[in-house]
Amino acid sequence: MKHPTLTEIEALLLQAASLLIYQEVMAAAPANAYLELLQELQAEAQTQQPGARLLKAYAAWFRAMATQQQSWPDYLLTRSLQAQNPFTQQVQRQELTDLPPALVAAARHDLRILQRLYDCDGDRIAAWVTELAPQLPPLIRWNPINHPKLADLRARLQHFDDWSQALEVWVDCYRRQGTGAFAQFRALRWQQGQLVGIAHPDPIRLAHLAGYEAQKATLVKNTEFLLNGYPALHVLLYGSRGSGKSSLVKALLNEFGDRGLRLVEVPKAELAALPTIMEQIYDSRLKFILFVDDLSFEADDDAYKALKVVLEGSVTARSANGVVYATSNRRHLVREFFDDRPRPQDADEIHTWDTVQEKLSFRDRFGLTLTFEPADQPTYLEIVQHLAAQAGIALAQDELAFRARQWATQHNGRSGRSARQFVDFLQAELALSGGS
């Protein structure tokens, strides 16, 4: 008579092989190691072979999970949330009732299987190894604490004995978090023709930024329009270097990322890809800031034409879930020379003034232009005091202001960047000297 554990293992392997649309969940290294471990358990139960191969399979799975720093159930939840398949993609732009019934049935079928794989965690695997190969030494079990970011999903799924009946819970997650790279990362970069996730984005937050309060409030309001489904404007943040323009845009992600905001950094060299990026995000329910930092163009640079298409639209309807936020130190984004201006003796171009006006009016195609003037001394000292308070620096205000003015004179002048550099230096200096 077949061993009951062998029957359970064989059923689990068969179910994993029968996934219809969620195959990618079981395609990465930890899942492959998991399946190979089940196969070795099956072989052990069938042949009573020496346990060396089983130990190697267990070690490979243990190492794969330790690399992920997740428990097996958490790993399976994470991969299922990030899954990019016909169901998870289509359900973001269509109602369940509008999807092909066979696709919905396949999703329910696969979720039921994933639940069984989820329930077969590290403790059960280790128990099977001990049961089927009692001659092996005791195993160290991989079963770390559950990840808090998955706590809400775990709590919602606990109300269902069958995940196929919890389809609406999964749909809600896909619509709120997206799939693929958008579910895994909040910040991404367009690189060599694809979106690449940024694992460690700048942690700057709005509370860390002082000065330029009116500009901050306007940009936050425009971003709120985007998040709430109202028309939002493309924004040009123009002004002096070091005034915090880029930091302000990046802080929006940390403020609103949990509300479905994603930031896609587009290097100037990749501006031609902007229409392609807009096409990729067009149907998503997430909201996107396409961030172009330090924007400017040389006189003979045609890259601005791709940005112009996104700003003004083309035959394709403008995406309601994406805006361009660009920073620049130049008021006129396209570099212009006096020689560009038409003179009566120049006859090379018939409508030269049209070309000049196209360059000069490019900035006007942004719906909002926020100007960041150079920081005067009161603004600079306000920023220093704000950052010093956050850093826990307890110097007297007079001494802090004196040293801050010295720093600005000896280094990079008065700006938000200079204030941050001064406070970072001062904090380290005081820590090493035992001050506070």
Asked if residue 289 lies in contact with residue 252, where contact means CB atoms within 8 angstroms, the answer is yes
Percent of the chain with pLDDT over 70: 86
The pTM is what?
0.81
So what's the pLDDT on residue 351? Answer: 43
Percent of the chain with pLDDT over 90: 52
Structure token pair of residue 252 = 């929006």
Higher pLDDT, 275 or 17: 17
Distance CA 165, CA 163 (A): 5
pLDDT by residue (tens digit) across 183-213?
Answer: 999 999 999 889 999 999 999 999 888 888 9
**pLDDT mean over 276-295:** 89
> What mean pLDDT value characterizes the chain?
86
Residue 162 has pLDDT above 90, yes or no: yes
pLDDT by residue (tens digit) across 368-387?
Answer: 999 988 888 998 899 999 99
So what's the pLDDT on residue 352? Answer: 47
Residue 39 has pLDDT above 90, yes or no: yes
Q: What residues contact residue 376 under an 8 Å CB cut-off, 6+ apart?
A: 414
pLDDT by residue (tens digit) across 87-110?
Answer: 999 998 899 999 999 999 999 999
Residue 349 has pLDDT above 70, yes or no: no
Q: Is 3 helix (H, G, I), strand (E, B) or coil?
A: coil
Give the sheet arrangement for strand 194-197, strand by strand. Answer: 194-197, 187-191, 261-265, 287-292, 322-328, 235-239, 368-372
Max mean pLDDT among 127-131, 148-152, 162-166, 346-350 falls in: 162-166
So what's the pLDDT on residue 298? Answer: 61
Strand 187-191 relative to strand 261-265, pairing = parallel
Distance CA 171, CA 6 (A): 35
